[in-house]
Amino acid sequence: MEIVLLGTGSADGWPNPFCRCASCRSAADAGLIRAQSAALIDDVLMLDCGPEAPRAALHHGRSLAGVRYILFTHGHPDHVGPMALLMRHWLRLDEPLEVIGPASALEQCKIWIGVDDPVIFRPVVAGDDVLVGDYRVRVLAAEHGADLKFHGDGDHAVLYDVSRDGKRLLWATDTGPLSDATHAALAGAAFDAVFLEETFGTWPEHGTEHHDLTSFAATVAELRSSGAVVERTDVVAIHLGHHNPPEAELAAALTVSGAHPGRDGDVVRVGSGVRPVTRTLVTGGARSGKSAYAEALFAGEAAVTYLATGGVREGDPEWAERIKLHRQRRPSSWRTVETVDVATQLRDPETPLLIDCLGTWLTARMDQHRVWDTGTLDGVYADIDELVAAWRDCPVTVVAVSNEVGSGVVPATASGRQFRDTLGVLNARIAATSQDVVLMVAGRPLRLAAE
């Protein structure tokens, strides 16, 4: 099963668009905009469909044309966006759509479909075990049912245990600490992935119908003790709100539970036993904060391989001081490899990789091919082809730092212009096969949207 996280935020998202707290400012500055939590399985089944989910699907390059099933967890308005059914109705589609969930969620949707729409409503309650197309869905009790405006009397929020072809996931939002009965029902499940809400971060005064970091850790620990979470389980925190600390601190806090924060657009291949692989290019001018930002993306990782492409420059004390400061900033658990053979490292990595930087890598390749003497770039372009292919196929998360040198004064020398132009080509090709591209300006990250 392939899961696309259409949103990983709480009801008000993260950052809250009306908020100026430090957490919201940090998320906005980093371009980490989380929409209301929802997911898409195999382009066929949606887990929740709030008002932001349809547009989020398009933003992440997915169509909802193939969706045949929507599973609602409960009736709160960030999870039920019935306007989506009207959008579908306008197309006069013939393919049937099954809408499944607590009765109160379904009642909100029924007035949004046409008389002849092939939409089937299937109410479920905790304890049900149903077939939804090729998926087996067990319905479990959530601890999130006090609001009678959106939950009918006796009609409570639910969680979904979804399996197909031996792969299995748990979608657990919204809920506070799980009841003994739900834990008992989950025992021994050995999920491939668990998506568990963690709304309130470091704020414990929220009541019991959501998790904070402390209760999240306790819930995951209990799931581990019962065999619901095992060694291979990918535990992903979702429904994240601005009471959480900034991303790097949150990631570090979640490592206690063997978990990590989900991000909008993440693709999780259930059953792979590994976290989603991402490729990020961080570029910018001199002293713009590129390296520090790139290093922060790995906050919470137990081990990272740092590929230093600059090498050692004998007799250059200023360069030596730069290297010293970089090393002091990196965690002691990181491994540093000084190399310009980056493609080989990308093809057979042992840990996530940070490449710093592509500019010094390119300089070394141009030196090796004697471009400054011959003016011929054929060998360099062959090296770029090899690097891009290895970058595209790298099996672990990788971040590359590069320089943005084409925005200033035109270099006075032919060799300077040649380097500028070639680095621009390299950056563009790496960016074309990256999930994220970040431009650093005056210490501020700007995430560049894909075309």
Compute the C-alpha angle 419/445/385, nearest 5°. 35
The helix, strand and coil proportions of the chain, stated in percent and rounded to the nearest 5, come to 30, 25, 45
Instruction: Please answer whether residues 423 and 358 qualify as being in contact, where contact means their C-beta atoms are separated by less than 8 angstroms.
Output: yes
Look up 89 and say whether it is catalytic.
no
Instruction: Please answer whether residues 199 and 164 qualify as being in contact, where contact means their C-beta atoms are separated by less than 8 angstroms.
Output: no
For residues 313 and 321, what is the distance between their CA atoms, to the nearest angstrom?
11
Beta bridge mates, 401 = 282, 356
Short-list 97, 130, 101, CA closest to 114: 97
Sequence-distant (6+) residues with CB within 8 A of 332 are: none
Sequence-distant (6+) residues with CB within 8 A of 215 are: 176, 177
The full DSSP string for 201-241 is TT--TT-SSS--HHHHHHHHHHHHHTTSEEEEEEEEEESB-
Size of the chain in residues: 451
For residues 434 and 413, what is the distance between their CA atoms, to the nearest angstrom?
32
Instruction: Please answer whether residues 237 and 196 qualify as being in contact, where contact means their C-beta atoms are separated by less than 8 angstroms.
Output: yes
Active-site pick, 59, 183, 206, 326: 326
Q: DSSP code of 360?
A: H
Query: How crowded is residue 348: how many other Cβ atoms within 10 Å of its Cβ?
Result: 9
Q: Is the peptide bond before 357 cis (omega within 30 degrees of 0)?
A: yes
Sequence-distant (6+) residues with CB within 8 A of 152 are: 102, 103, 104, 107
Compute the C-alpha angle 289/295/300, nearest 5°. 140
Sequence-distant (6+) residues with CB within 8 A of 314 are: none
Instruction: Give the amino acid at 69.
Output: Y
For residues 240 and 226, what is the distance between their CA atoms, to the nearest angstrom?
25
Catalytic residues: 326
